[in-house]
Structures are given as structure tokens and as C-alpha cells.
Amino acid sequence: MKTNDIMARLRAKYPGENEYLQAVQEVLESVEEVYNQHPEFEKAKIVERMVEPDRIFTFRVTWVDDRGEVQTNTGYRVQFNSAIGPYKGGLRFHRAVTPSMLKFLGFEQTFKNALTTLPMGGAKGGSDFDPVGKSNDEIMRFCQAFMLELWQCIGPDQDIPAGDVGVGGREIGYLYGMYKKLAREYNTGVLTGKGSTWGGSILRPEATGFGALYFTQNLLHKAGKDIKGCRVAVSGFGNVAWGACIKATELGAKVVAISGPDGVCEIPDGITKEMIDYMLIMRASNRNRVEDMADKFPGACKFTAGKKAWSVKCDVALPCAFQNELSEDDAKELKANGCWCCCEVSNMGCQPGAIHYFQHNGVLFAPGKAVNAGGVATSGLEMTQNASHISWSGAEVDAKLHFIMDSIHEQCVKYGTQPDGSIDYVKGANIAGFMKVATAMLEQGTV
């Protein structure tokens, strides 16, 4: 296989699907050498099959807003790959959602889920519905209308959605309520991220952020360092950033920045428990403004409009918001300000130029599909609990999550160690995930 040839074909076939093309290119570049050592992959056209989603559902979602006006959005579910398990992946509600965005996310999810060691295929879904400024009732009505279509495509052994940007515990509750009414069955395992009293994993809300810090700690230990005492810059203030702030603080780091689409909040003395709790209120308000934090804690937080978290001096950068949120210029600014490690927590949070810059300028870097896999891994644990009608304690889930993150780190080291002894975590994660999915596809024949 030649990455350039495949990319040229995909660019011609899917012009303008930039996020999808970017995600595919990164994986193919990483695996090309290993792939070409396996003529059986080439013969079965594994790559050509793997870059195409199995199927995409597109549907109209019509709902009524608080003024009584009829609104129409588009809903999607991209079932990308089911080689190693049922389709699994989150739902994103964001005004910028397009098929390209969901294809990139579903593609990434396939490899990420393979890394978790659990049997889950890859999927993603969502809508161009914009939760910003919506009331709680509007969110509920939208979720119900969305599920009216989605429920036909999903099932506990078929496809299991969860949260992503714009979809958290509240939305999963509304989605599940409508699913249950339509299906007339209490299929708890059809969605993950549920409330802890009705089948949800006790640690699912924290899991992505906690897992990211367990991975980061492993990476730092491997490099002879520790997160303790580090200044950490976090982007975003949603669920993932929240979990990352809790665990980073618990491990003795100082979170000196969080950010939003409106700007950055600098917190020189480190984020406090009160501030971390307030992040949840900010998320539930649907205002999408980080300035609210500075308004609430005026002495301790300094808000600067239009700036990113990457403008704040730090040792470790944790992008926790959105794809392509960290550019090559941001990477240079981080490095100039003393940053020496970036663990990508958001999906494809760093632009290719930023990754290249980090890797060639002595900044430790690990990609989202390894770092953030603790979220979906804990979803997998939630599915296990649901299938066996049991409930684990928070401590049990945390121990399993920790073990999974250790194993993901080991896989990255196994496949990413370079002849000079350095570790290319991008290669490591991509090759480890790819080999597992490719082998399963091969064993299941030409389907």
C-alpha cells in the first residue's frame, strides 16, 4: 500500500472532508511500513476496506423550541467498523457537526477502542444541533426527537452510543428515557454514560480525564519525570477537562489554566476544588463561557478574551476541548514558554504541524486515541456490568481503568519504540490499534 495513492483517491472521492482525510492520513502514514510487511493484508485489501465506514445513517430531527417555533436539524450515526465488537462510540451535539467530522471521529474510535483491550468496534454520531443558549426543556425535546430516529439503528449487541462534546449525563438520561418508551424493553446496555442509579458506571463521568492522567503519568515515569509539581494548562471546561483537573490536582500538579471559546482563565495558584465544582455548573448553564469562572472567583482567576490556554506558561499541556485546537504556532509558543510535554486528550486536538513540531523539538507527545481511551474503556466496563446485571464500586472501576491505561501505554511502547530508544507514541498507538483490527478483519473473511 502507498499512503499517497490511497489519499489521492480519497481526496478525489470525498473533497472537502478535511477532518476525515486528516485522520486517515495520520494513521496510514504510521502503519504503512508494518502493513507492507504483511502481504496477506494487501491481498485482502484491508486498508481500502478499513477507511470506509460500514454504513452511515442520516435523518431529520424536528423539534419545537420554547417560543413554540419548529426547528429542524440533521442527525447522523456512522457505524464505522465492527471487526472486534459491536459498534461503540459517542454522540456529538455541536453546530459544526458534519459527516466529515463524524467520519473522522468514527475512524479514530475504531483504533482507540481496539487499544482498550475490550471487544468494541468503532462508531460515532450526533447532530448539528447547537446546545449553546438552549434551555433544559429544549435539550430534552431535542434528545427525544433525535432518539425517535436513532433507536432503530442501535441495540446493546449492535451499536452502543454514549456522550461526547455537547452530550453528557443529562442528555444520555433524556435519550434513554425515549429509547425505553420506543423499544418497550429495559435494555440498559444500549447507551453508556447513564446515571449511577440506573445502570451507569460510577466513574464514567470522571473516566476520560482520570484515564488521561494515568496515561500521562506513565509517559512521564518512562521519561524519568513525574506530574507532581508540574504546572498544567488545560483547554476547555467540559466533562473531560473537569476530570483531568480533578486527577491532575490529586496527583500534586497545579492546573494554571482552563479555557473556552471566549478566552482563557489563568489561575496562577492552581485550580481549587470550588473552581472544579463550578465547572459543572458552567457546563450545565449552556452558556459556553469560561469568563464565568473569573466572574465567580475574581481574585484567583484572570480572564483574557480571545487567548488560548497555550498562551499560559506551563510544563504540561492537556488539550481537552476540540479537534485541531492546538496549531503549530501554539506549539511553538508553548515550547518557548517552557512546556516540555503535551498529552492530547481531545480527539485529534493537535494539528499535524503541531505534532511534527513537538516531535522534532524535544516535547514529549502522545495522541488522543491513546490518552483519552479511558472514557470509552469505562463505557466498556459499564456494558459488562449491564450485561451481567451487577454494579462495581468506584474503587473497582478505578482499578480496572488504571490497569487498562497501563496496558495502552505498554502497547504504545511495544509498537512505538524507535531504533534510537525514543518512543513515538503516535506510531505506537496507530500500529497497535491497526494490527488488532486488521487481523480480526482478515480472520473474518471478505465481508
CA-to-CA dists, residue 309 to 86, 256, 325, 327, angstroms: 37, 9, 10, 12
DSSP class of residue 152 equals G
379 binds ligand GLU (CB under 6 A): yes
- One-letter amino acid for residue 297 of the chain: F
Give the residue closest to ligand GLU by C-beta: 90
Q: Which of residues 216-275 bind ligand GLU (CB under 6 A)?
A: none
Q: How far is the CB of 288 from ligand GLU (least distance, A)?
A: 18
Residue 163: all three cell numbers together: 456522550
349 binds ligand GLU (CB under 6 A): no
CA-to-CA dists, residue 163 to 146, 170, 396, angstroms: 14, 10, 22
Q: Which of residues 132-171 bind ligand GLU (CB under 6 A)?
A: 162, 164
Q: Which of residues 103-122 bind ligand GLU (CB under 6 A)?
A: 112
Q: Which of 187, 288, 347, 385 binds ligand GLU (CB under 6 A)?
A: 347
Neighbours of 278 (CB within 10 A): 18
Instruction: Residue 90: name the closest of 6, 159, 43 by CA.
Output: 159
376 binds ligand GLU (CB under 6 A): yes
Q: Positive or negative CA dihedral for 223, 224, 230, 236?
A: positive
Are β-strands 341-343 and 231-234 bridged in parallel, bridged antiparallel, or unpaired? unpaired
Site string for ligand GLU, 59-88 (x = CB under 6 A): -----------------------------x
Catalytic annotation, pick one of 103, 124, 254, 400: 124
Closest to ligand GLU by CB, 109 vs 217, is 109
- One-letter amino acid for residue 77 of the chain: R
DSSP secondary structure of 199-251: T--TTHHHHHHHHHHHHHHHHHHHTT--STT-EEEE---SHHHHHHHHHHHHT
Closest to ligand GLU by CB, 259 vs 347, is 347
Closest to ligand GLU by CB, 231 vs 369, is 369
Q: How far is the CB of 379 from ligand GLU (least distance, A)?
A: 3
Q: Which of 90, 209, 238, 433 binds ligand GLU (CB under 6 A)?
A: 90
Q: Which of residues 175-194 bind ligand GLU (CB under 6 A)?
A: 192
d(CA 204, CA 236): 19
| Residue 134 is among the residues annotated as catalytic for this protein | no
Q: How far is the CB of 33 from ligand GLU (least distance, A)?
A: 27
Report the catalytic residues: 124
Q: Which residues bind ligand GLU (CB under 6 A)?
A: 88-90, 112, 162, 164, 192, 347, 372, 375-376, 379
